[in-house]
Structure 1
């Protein structure tokens, strides 16, 4: 069945705009953020108009409905990414998700001299948290170079860098080059050295189907706003083994017993 581009455009109200130059809006900046279809706008509007309340924090009707919506979304999102509800943590963004790996896992498991491997291709969200943790904890940070002829990661150099590492952090798809890294190879390579693996999939998840449990990564970050979803929501998918090693990142609220 041929792709009906006009039908898809019609689902996005903003694409009906006429610009000051008299031309119809054409939007290609989806690597930064995607526009929202009417289904998303209507769902958010319906929530605020009809059953907005604090989920999990009260026992009145609106709170029950909000809780059901929150947990229903968790169930659908986890199934969409090929994992279970217990493996999905809501975050405010993919950046927050990567910081959750740094401060909810690495801070509890890494000490001075331990090695974290990342690459020269990464978004700042997968570099700066490790630089800060390096200053705070004295961990060693290694960078895998980019093959400047092929514009891919230098996997031979990665094999050397991973030796003795505790964590390997790699972007799924580069937000600058658009290249898809061989994350399956990276995961296998890292696990063969006993290292955990964190995949930044902010740019990968919008463009290919992910089955997290089959992929075998320990962490994978996602941002909804790059997938035609709302701004201000993302998630971190976590393996059972890695989840058991995590501690609190943000305290207060539902963490209080």
Structure 2
């Protein structure tokens, strides 16, 4: 098994699950049959116990209807996990309730335990997170290739501060140097020119990395009523110059312009 999805429910309390279901053995058709081995393929123990998994590549935390989207409960979930081979991490809620709170300290500890610096290549966050909290995470993820971030109105994480930190300069090593895909769903709480600086500098940086075949991909979504024609025109010019992929269009589900 290479993926795991947690879906929160109103009655879900991690300490209760730990009492009823600890330990939990998780198997898939791709794993050997359950045995009495002292080293089974995958074990998850809730309630504070820390157990390493096998070769997971994807963890999706869909906190739909989790009580109050509590950072404490979400933190307890992450505190229970060590995933030393994880490549993709997604944290969000699909329902219409307020976005979940980002458990910053628990994620930082989880990332350190799981050695995300060695293997995490995709991070997706749709949560109540600040630009400062996100900027605490990114230096720990030097192998990150895909970054997907959402504003959660009225809370804004995609700010000038965040974008300026993503600009590549010749004077300092770039943050997340392997980044080749950036997706931002925003209420436009930033300066347009800073966004253009990020994309322009990343296109130039990516061209120098033969591993990426010289192509940088950006998806920038914003509410249709707030679209910026001038910014779209500048990004379209970059596409014509080569080494950059960008698409625009209306996303009907979220009401964002892309």
Same fold? TM cut 0.5: no
- Structure with the bigger RCO (C-alpha within 8 Å, sep 6+) is 1
